[in-house]
Amino acid sequence: MAISLTSFLLPICLFISLARTATLTYDFDVAWTHANPDGQYNRPVIGINGQWPIPSIVATKGDQVIVNVKNSLRNESTSLHFHGLYMNGTTHMDGPVAVTQCGILPGSSFTYNFTIDQPGTYWYHSHVRGQYPDGLRGPLIVKDPENPFKGQYDEEVVLTFSDWYHESMPKLMSGFISIANPSGAEPVPQAALVNDTQNLSVKIEPGKTYMFRMINIGAFAAQYVWFEDHTMRIVEVDGIYTEPMDAEMLYVTAAQRYSVLVTAKNDTSSNFAFVGSMDEDLFDVFPDGLNPNVTGWLVYDDTKAKPEAKLIDSFDSQFDDFTLVPYDKESIYSNVDQSITLDMKMDNLNDGANYAFFNDITYVAPKVPTLYTTLSTSANATNPLIYGYNTNPFVLSQNQVVEIILNNDDPGKHPFHLHGHAFQVIARSEEEAGAFDPNNATQIAFAATPIRRDTVLVRPNGHIVLRFQSNNPGIWLFHCHLEWHMASGLAITLIEAPLTLQSQLSGKIPQDHWDVCKAGDVPVVGNAAGNTVDVLDLTGENKSPGELPAGFTGRGIVALVFSCLSAFVGMAVIGWYGLKPIEKKTK
């Protein structure tokens, strides 16, 4: 009967000591500066507080993070997305413009305020169309006092990998989505970077074990990554701890992260190269003189030579992330409540440009940010129609198992990212396997404890099947993380538990969110078209260009463009974007 005082107080003391979390405040003044990270070309880049590379955000699990953003860019709006964070209860802090907020106009300020309840390796970047590759992207690290691998390494080192363009994004983007580029050939980067530089030295002490947190913060190119004569032991992907697995080489797509343990040699007799090598399969053209590789060194002794990276013959030793097992051994979510099939393709619309489609719909941002449509339409918020045709909306009920079947009807590789969740990757085909077939016994032999992550590659003309639980009310994009394809519309909008979202957030959106909308004359109530009287009337909504007339093919556009271009535009444009037949490169 008598509960002793100590057994009563002990849990409270524990609670107090665990709950001693910090509030971290970052003041970010976002402005243009200049940098020349590849040593070939000095160009404008988007910096923070006059600094580029931009600072890392480093928190501990449980911390509250405040990021005060001032937009001093003068000529562009901005926003920040915290890639991989669930933003549970704070979907309005997720960052994508026209989805959960309005763009922060030049001269305006905006505060992100959220609590981080998950450990791991993340990054943050602009979520304004096409903006982050101009430099507004950096690491976001969440330390974990209970990291299960804590005793197994001595130090941790962050390494970012990235592609790099010399031209600025607004100019590249207008050339990319254009009648002058009907095949949708993506601009090819000029260089690869590690930590926004090249020839990086990483100081290594013999015998120590390092945890490298590797992040691909690039726009387009995936990178093969390897450390010569050192094995990587994978312990985390995209914020999910894994059963340790050894790898000689990783394939890291744009937006993916890996933490690996690397044990140093016991002697300092030489230094070792490590390499990031951009996957050239993604490039429609391979310009003369492009070096797809970036080299750095594990430096044991800085008086000794830094040997050139050894050339390798193939990338066959790349690790297959599909074989990873989550450390928590969470079982497959077996009873699917809602299954969404997405057939993706690339095609032309009648403006002659090339677009990307899910189920024949290319994403176009709505007039009213989707979250504000949810918050202002009461019971109609559960009706997908009100969110507009071109946002490609799917409404999810709360606490269900949701499945996404994605069939890639395109010869390209695409890394897909879901906001607000990590998903189980329950199937991922080889290339050319075609659409997922639920009646094929081989394809539905799912793993019992599938890997979870937030960004996954679908192979050329192959498929992936993902599952997650709708336990996070919010407005979440699911999209290709190649910035070119995001801009050409490869996105859907998930409206998760809209009525719960209304009860969580109605009246709670901070004033500065409304202020940036007002400054930009963006409507904040009603359906996607801003209609408040009859929310089922979408008249005036933003739409994509129309379809090509039947029988008028991409090839027809190529022919048309050749004749138009030679008449009006001149050969310079052709040279720059590499006009070529409509088929993308296949292997």
Ligand X SMILES: *[C@@H]1O[C@H](CO)[C@@H](O)[C@H](O)[C@H]1NC(C)=O
Task: Give residues in contact with Cu ion (CB under 5 A).
Answer: 414, 480, 482, 485
For CA atoms 340, 413, 485, 141, the dihedral sign is: positive
The answer to whether 307 contacts ligand X (rule: CB under 6 A) is no
The answer to whether 160 contacts ligand X (rule: CB under 6 A) is yes
485 touches, from ligand X, Cu ion, none (C-beta below 5 to 8 Å by class):
Cu ion
Beta carbons within 8 Å of 216's beta carbon, 6+ residues apart: 160, 161, 162, 222, 223, 252, 253, 254, 255, 256, 257
Exposed, middle or buried by CB within 10 Å (0-12, 13-18, 19+), for 539? exposed
The answer to whether 266 contacts ligand X (rule: CB under 6 A) is yes
The answer to whether 104 contacts ligand X (rule: CB under 6 A) is no
The answer to whether 411 contacts ligand X (rule: CB under 6 A) is no
The answer to whether 168 contacts ligand X (rule: CB under 6 A) is yes
160 touches, from Cu ion, ligand X, none (C-beta below 5 to 8 Å by class):
ligand X
**Count of all residues that appear for the chain in the document:** 587
Alpha-carbon separation of residue 377 from 90, 370, 494 (angstroms):
19, 11, 16
Least distance (Å) between residue 18 CB and ligand X: 17
579 touches, from ligand X, Cu ion, none (C-beta below 5 to 8 Å by class):
none
Residue from 61, 143, 166, 265 that binds ligand X (CB under 6 A)?
265
The answer to whether 263 contacts ligand X (rule: CB under 6 A) is yes
Which amino acid does the sequence have at 358?
Answer: F
Residue from 31, 157, 249, 447 that binds ligand X (CB under 6 A)?
157
Beta carbons within 8 Å of 3's beta carbon, 6+ residues apart: none
Least distance (Å) between residue 551 CB and ligand X: 32
Least distance (Å) between residue 217 CB and Cu ion: 17
Residue from 79, 242, 253, 277 that binds ligand X (CB under 6 A)?
277
CA-nearest of 494, 181, 222, 527 to 358 is: 494
480 touches, from Cu ion, ligand X, none (C-beta below 5 to 8 Å by class):
Cu ion
User: Given the rule CB under 6 A, which of 342-350, 404-412, 492-500, 530-538 is the region that contacts ligand X?
Assistant: 530-538
168 touches, from Cu ion, ligand X, none (C-beta below 5 to 8 Å by class):
ligand X
Max CA pair span of the chain = 94
Name which of 465 and 491 has its Cβ closer to ligand X: 465
Least distance (Å) between residue 3 CB and ligand X: 28
CA-nearest of 340, 278, 272, 346 to 309 is: 272
Beta carbons within 8 Å of 200's beta carbon, 6+ residues apart: 159, 194, 296, 297
Residues 196 and 296: beta-carbon distance below 8 Å: no
Residue from 116, 136, 142, 158 that binds ligand X (CB under 6 A)?
158
The answer to whether 380 contacts ligand X (rule: CB under 6 A) is yes
Which ranges constitute the DSSP H helices of 320-445? 370-375
Name which of 76 and 186 has its Cβ closer to ligand X: 76
**E strands, 338-379, in order:** 338-348, 354-358
Name which of 158 and 517 has its Cβ closer to ligand X: 158
> Segment 461-490, which members bind ligand X (CB under 6 A)?
471-472
Alpha-carbon separation of residue 518 from 77, 515, 524 (angstroms):
14, 5, 9
Residues 442 and 282: beta-carbon distance below 8 Å: no
Tell me which residues touch ligand X (CB under 6 A). 32, 38-39, 44, 53, 56, 66, 75-76, 86, 88, 111, 113, 139, 157-160, 168, 170-171, 195, 197-200, 202, 207, 263, 265-266, 277, 291-293, 311-312, 378-380, 421, 429, 433, 440, 442-443, 471-472, 534-536
